[in-house]
Structure 1
Amino acid sequence: MSKEEQVKVEEQSELIEENVEEEKVDKDQDVNEEEKDENSQEDDLKSQESLVDEIKSENEKLAKEISRLDNENQTFKDRLARTVAEYDNFRKRTVKEKEGIYTNACEDILKEFLPVLDNLERAITVDGSVEDLKKGIEMTIKQFSDALEKLEVEEIGADGEFDPNVHNAVMHVDDEQYGKNQVVEVFQKGYKRGDKVLRHSMVKVAN
């Protein structure tokens, strides 16, 4: 083998070794890249699993909160239903009590005036003088007044100055012997119960 051939063979050998080394380096790089990809995929998978766990945990918390709110809502509904029922019962009871009070009041009034009616009926069936009839009427009026007194109904006074709260002036007169706005005469008596005027007195007033 000539020297030139020997040099070529050596060069080819070196070239082959370089190629082999490059291929080895490339393979090592590929292996490293694959390992990196695998590690990256594992990290991504772990991250996704962690995210799923967080979502599950949040969903469980939300489910518990929804259950709690549902229970509170049902409690409020039950309370509202009871309150409405209690109010309705109270309203019915109040109406019934008012009706009872009104009925009892009417009964009390009628009980006081029935004896007056009895006396009036007896008066027109009994024969007697005018004086006897007058006495009977006076007794009936007294009995009627007693009944009003028991019901706390009192006659409105007509003496003194005119009071528009209790008097109704149906006539005016110029008379110097009376003071201005003084009640001169009563045409119809007025009555009140406490501060409530049942009927104003019809009066004549001096100007």
Structure 2
Amino acid sequence: MAKEEKKKNSKAQEETVEATETETKAEEATEEKEPTAEEKLTEELKKEKEKYMRLAAEYDNYRKRTQQEKLGIYDDATAKAVEQLLPMADALQMALQNAKDAPQEFLKGLELIQNQFKTSMDKLKVEAFGEIGDEFDPNIHNAIAKIESDEVGENQISMIYQKGFKIGDKIIRHAMVQVANCD
């Protein structure tokens, strides 16, 4: 009988151990299904870091791309300006070749070059400014001399040494002028 009781006790212990193991496995499965708050936050942080890294990479690529575009625009603008100057260089070369043989033709060639220059500036939307009689404006004129004169009004331009040039409101070169009757 003692043996039978031992067998019953042993079976009871085995059943208890099995039940405990089953409960433990069930708890582990439950724990695996529901991550802790810390694990949730860690996972969320990881996702946000990945998003941030992608955004930083996209911004860096955007910055590099726009820098390349700016360089391309500058090169295109320079090429456009040089393209407008080339016919004048050709005309100057021809005028210089003919200068000794035909002085009158040389002068006509210079006039042609000046007209080509004006046409090129118009195509580039470059405007010349600074005329005798204009009122002196220190924002667009450089006064390099002044005179007293009864023939010209006060603070007016009496002589142009170099014309000024602008594109829209942007001054490319200030006009070099002589100003009359200024204080």
TM-score by length of 1: 0.68
More off after superposition, 131-140 vs 117-126: 117-126
**Shift of the alpha carbon at 1:123?**
1.4
Matched, 1:157 2:130: yes
Deviation string for 1:176-199 (max 9, x for gaps)? 222110111101111111101111
Range with bigger deviation, 65-74 or 155-164:
155-164
**What SS does structure 1 have at the residue aligned with 2:127?**
strand
Does 2:87 correspond to 1:124?
A: no
Q: Deviations over 1:15-45 (max 9, x none)?
A: xxxxxxxxxxxxxxxxxxxxxxxxxxxxxxx
Q: Tell me the residue number matched to 2:108.
A: 135
**Structure 2: distance between partners of 1:81 and 1:175:** 72
Q: Which amino acid aligns with 2:129?
A: I
Measure the CA separation in 2 of the matches of 1:92 and 1:105: 20
- How far apart, CA to CA, are the structure 2 residues paired with 1:155 and 1:142? 13
The residue number in structure 2 matching 1:181 is 155
Residues 118-145 of structure 1: CA distance to partner in whole angstroms, max 9, x if unpaired?
A: 1111111235321110000100111011
Tell whether 2:86 aligns with 1:86: no
Q: Counterpart of 2:92 in structure 1: which amino acid?
A: L
Cα root mean square deviation, aligned:
1.7
Aligned to 1:197: 171
Q: Give % identity.
A: 41
The amino acid that maps onto 1:175 is S
Structure ranking higher on relative contact order (CA contacts 8 Å, 6+ apart) = 2
Paired residues in the alignment total: 148
Counterpart of 2:8 in structure 1 is none
Note the C-alpha offset of 1:76.
Answer: 0.7
Distance 2:47 2:129 in 1: 60
Unaligned 5+ segments in structure 1 are 1-55
| Residue 94 of structure 1, CA deviation | 0.5
> d(CA) in 2 for partners of 1:68 and 1:156?
70
Q: Which has the larger radius of gyration?
A: 1
One-letter code of the match for 2:157? Answer: V
Q: Secondary structure at the match of 1:83?
A: helix
Q: Per-residue CA shift, 1:158-186, capped at 9, x if unaligned?
A: 23210111111111101122211011110
Q: Which amino acid aligns with 1:148?
A: M
Q: Which has the higher helix share?
A: 1
Question: Cα offset for 1:157?
Answer: 3.2
| Residue aligned with 1:187, SS | strand
Residue equivalent to 2:4: none
Q: Distance in 2 between matches of 1:94 and 1:199?
A: 29
Residue 148 of structure 1 pairs with residue 121 of structure 2: yes
CA–CA distance in 1 between the matches of 2:179 and 2:130? 14
